[in-house]
Chain A
Amino acid sequence: MKELLNSPLAHVCFTLAVFILSKKLQAKYKSPLLNPILITIVLVISFLLLTDTSYQDYERNTQVISFWLAPSVIALGYALYSFLGEIKADFKKIIISMIVGSLTGIVSVFITAYLLGASKATMISLAPKSVTTPIAIEVSKEMGGIPSLTVAFVIVVGVLGAIFGQTYLKLIGVNDPKSVGLSLGATAHALGTASISERGPDFSAFGGLGMALNGVLTAILAPWVIKLLLILLY
């Protein structure tokens, strides 16, 4: 029984079942707190702790799920292609908003963490938090952060963005697919983009664009901004 519980079959079945059920729950009650990603993560962690299973085992057993993460990022290229006309029409504004967004994102997280007494390594690990994992890892490693901690922050930002992002944007009156997609894609990468994919293909397309542009810009800008901030603060 113990071996069966710690098999790819059992872990994949459990993960899929919990995810499908929590999606149904959200469809029924429509509360942002009932986010399927959050519920599934919490329930899977509880299940692993209860069955005394290590994360390494779970990670290995569910590779059949996480394998599709990269192809789903590539699929955003298809979504972008469908809306290329609209992107070209607004190109300048999109680029400006993404440069400002990337810079304010890095500076604000760094300064806030500094003021609240975080350690230097934590601050550097936080800086690339808004971009997809592979880019975030590279920036963190290069600047003296802790890559695995950065991965944790990337996930936290993604989950928070997926849960509260849409509600907050509604509050400040941002509702059109372009603005919502770019904001959430730039703030909460693929998880933010996934959270709005149900609102239509135009939302996914701009989410993907926000995520890609913010990723590229952060990869280029973050090392310089971090260097400058470290000189100014220490």
Chain B
Amino acid sequence: MILIKQVAIFLGLWLLGEIISYYSHLPLSGSIIGMLLLLIGLESKLIKTKDVKDVANFLLNNMAMFFIPAGVGLMCHYRVLKQEWLPISVAIVVSAIVVMTVVGLIMKKRS
């Protein structure tokens, strides 16, 4: 029962997030809004830590696995990826290095 209640809270927040996302026309997904709702709920004590803790930890620890079906979708873009693989891969790698360096170094400074 405890787990069912926790799961229900997560799904409820997701649904609420989707509804807000739909009516507000914000370019934010329902899940990101749901994340902010959970944060606000916990901070304002509307949601108790013990009511989300176990499922939250389960979800966080297994996040990588939930991505696999989307990742397998790469097989559909074989042709474009093959045609423009050089500019695409170089641009992605360069940009990833730039962002990690910039963010990492700004955060490291003075800390």
On A, residues with C-beta under 8 Å from B are 15-16, 19, 36-37, 40-41, 44-45, 48-49, 55, 58-59, 62-63, 65-66, 68-81, 84, 90, 93-94, 96-98, 100-101, 104-105, 108-110, 112-113, 116-119, 122, 126, 129-130, 132-135, 138-139, 148-149, 151-153, 155-162, 165, 168-169, 172-174, 176, 178-180, 182-184, 186-188, 190-191, 193-195, 197-198, 201, 204, 208, 210, 212, 215-216, 219-220
A81 and B111 contact, CB distance less than 8 A = no
Number of B residues whose C-beta is below 8 Å from A? 73
Task: Given A77-B42, A112-B91, A122-B84, check contact A135 B72 (CB 8 Å).
Answer: no
Centre residue among B74, B107, B109 by max chain A CB count within 10 A: B107
Cα distance, A190 to B102, chains bound together (Å): 19
State whether A155 touches B71 (Cβ < 8 A): yes
Q: Give 10 closest A-B pairs by Cβ, nearest first.
A: A134-B29, A77-B38, A116-B87, A109-B95, A174-B104, A118-B87, A194-B64, A179-B107, A70-B31, A97-B106
Complex Cα distance A162/B71, Å?
13
CA distance A204 to B59 in the complex (A): 11
Which chain B residues (6-64) contact chain A, with CB distance < 8 Å?
10-11, 13-14, 17, 27-32, 34-39, 42-43, 49, 52-53, 55-57, 59-64
Assess the A104–B102 pair: CB atoms within 8 A: yes
Residues of A within 8 A of B91 (CB): 108-110, 112-113, 116, 118, 126
- For A74, A133, A157, which residue has the most chain B Cβ atoms within 10 angstroms? A74
With A55-B72, A187-B100 known, 11 other A-B pairs at CB within 8 A are A41-B71, A59-B72, A74-B13, A75-B60, A93-B106, A104-B95, A155-B74, A156-B74, A160-B92, A178-B111, A216-B28
| Chain B residues within 8 Å of A, Cβ to Cβ | 10-11, 13-14, 17, 27-32, 34-39, 42-43, 49, 52-53, 55-57, 59-77, 80-81, 84, 86-111
Interface centre among B14, B72, B73, B98 (most CB of A within 10 A): B72
Most-contacted residue by chain A among B32, B81, B93, B100 (CB, 10 A): B100
Which of A72, A90, A149: most chain B Cβ within 10 A? A72
- Nearest residue in A to B36 (C-beta to C-beta)? A77
Which secondary structure dominates where chain B touches chain A? helix
- A74 & B87 in contact (Cβ 8 Å cutoff): no
Shortest distance from the beta carbon of B23 to any chain A beta carbon, whole Å: 15
Chain B hits for A41, CB < 8 A? 68, 71-72, 74
Task: List, in ascending order, chain B residues with CB within 8 A of A138's CB.
Answer: 27
Establish whether residues A44 and B28, one from each chain, have CB atoms under 8 Å apart when the complex forms.
Answer: no
